[in-house]
Amino acid sequence: MFFGGGGAGPPAPPRGRGRGPMTREEAQRLREEELAGQGHGKDCFIIPQANLDRFLPDGVTLPREPRKSNNLINILEVDDPKIIVSFHLMGQLHPLNSMLENPMVNSLDVHFNLSRNLLKCAQDLSAGEGYIFKNLEKDADYPYINYYVINKPREEAGQFYTNNKMASHEALNASKLGYSLAHSMDLYDEVATIARPPVDPAHKRPTTDYTGYIICIYQVFKGDDGEKFERNWLYWTGARMLYKNLPRNVGLKRLTLHKSATGPNVNYILLVECSHFLDNINQAANLLPVLRARICGYTGIFRIVESF
């Protein structure tokens, strides 16, 4: 279901590595085209109908006649893309025996190779898309996050999750690896999205080589995820502040809230995609201290380093 507000962008590129990185001049020209087209469409709220009662923002009401042209919010019903995603959050590697640690080995290189192997495993298990997010900050709590898109019915997605989790635990077995790390993997539903047209909810491939992400992670106990709490998600996630204050040059494309469907606690992950984040990173990063000052959850900035 879509709800209205302002912007346009380029279509997603084809899969694969058909061309090299864009030059800075090409990126600037693409950005100018995006800005010029932002008056032609409305930004959209995308909320699955089953989640309307919980994630339609507090204070927003649906119009009685959805197709009237003067409505503040325009509504369009679309087919449910039936997307379930999985995030594998991985903390820092710690050697089991620091006395025997090889000083010539970079633990981040070891971690990246592990993430690549886990990505290949998920691909072999028939995930639709897969990405490795690399943290752009030094000594980050989550150096890498693996993200999988599962275009399958919920039962089959559950089987993928079970098999992938077993394979991941085997790959990250501390006694075999020589390193320990805290990690968690869960299935997530996309419960609410703010997207800038053109909108394709079913695919997550970035539209430019300069795409970057702000990822915010929150956790609450089961039972604390009440309707009033969730209807105020724009505020406690920082989504409203980011939407209103991210510089236009950063190229906000979509802002998606995910809620965990597995695990003992309730996790929320806010994924903010910006098509020109990396070539305007200083402007974008200015908002991070404001997000972190709330002492609420985890916030980091990432880019994609591997995908299928």
Closest-CA residue to 83 (of 133, 14, 156):
156
Instruction: Give the model's confidence band at 66: pLDDT under 50 very low, under 70 low, under 90 confident, else very high.
Output: low
For every residue of 219-265, DSSP letters joined together read: EE-TT---HHHHHTHHHHTSHHHHHHHS-GGG-EEEEEEEEESSSSS
Question: In terms of pLDDT, which residue wins out, 253 or 74?
Answer: 253
- The arithmetic mean of pLDDT across residues 47-63, rounded, is 84
- In the structure, what pLDDT confidence band is assigned to residue 18 with cuts at 50, 70 and 90? very low
pLDDT digits (tens, 9 = 90+) for 87-108: 999 999 999 987 767 778 899 9
**Which residue from 257, 178, 148, 207 is spatially nearest to 15, judged by alpha carbons?**
207
Q: At what angle do helices 154-171 and 107-124 cross, to 10 degrees?
A: 150
The residue written with tokens 């906000």 in the block is: 252
- Amino acid at the residue 219: Q
Distance between CA atoms of residues 255 and 140, nearest Å: 22
Tell me how crowded residue 174 is: count the other CB atoms within 10 A of its CB: 13
* Three-class SS state of 286: coil
- Taking alpha carbons only, the member of 277, 286, 188, 296 closest to residue 235 is 296
Q: What pLDDT sits at residue 32?
A: 56
Q: Please, are residues 144 and 182 in contact by the beta-carbon 8 Å criterion?
A: no
**Phi and psi dihedrals of 54, rounded to 5?**
-100, -30
CA distance 135 to 256: 19
pLDDT in tens, 230-280: 999 999 999 999 999 999 999 999 999 999 999 899 999 999 999 999 999
CA atoms of 301 and 308, how far apart (whole Å): 21
Q: Counting beta carbons within 10 angstroms of the beta carbon of residue 257, is it exposed (0 to 12), middle (13 to 18) or buried (19 or more)? A: buried
Residue 6 has pLDDT above 90, yes or no: no
Collapse the DSSP code of 77 into the 3-class scheme (helix H, G, I; strand E, B; otherwise coil) and give the result.
coil
For 180, the token pair is 């320990």
* pLDDT > 70 fraction of the chain, expressed in percent and rounded: 81
Residue 35, pLDDT > 60, answer no
In the chain, beta strands by DSSP E: 2-3, 44-46, 75-76, 84-90, 94-95, 129-135, 144-150, 179-180, 183-195, 212-220, 252-260, 266-274, 298-307
Query: Taking the model in full, what pTM does it have?
Result: 0.83
Residues in the chain: 308
Q: Is the previous residue joined to 197 through a cis bond, with omega within 30 degrees of 0?
A: no
Output helix, strand, coil percentages for the chain, rounded to the nearest 5.
Answer: 30, 25, 45
Output b/e per residue, 124-161; b: 16+ Cβ within 10 A. Answer: ebebbbbbbbbbbeeebebbbbbbbbbbbeeeebbebb
**How sure is the predictor about 24, in pLDDT bands with cuts at 50, 70 and 90?**
low
CA distance 153 to 187: 13
Q: What's the gap between Cα 271 and its chain centre?
A: 3
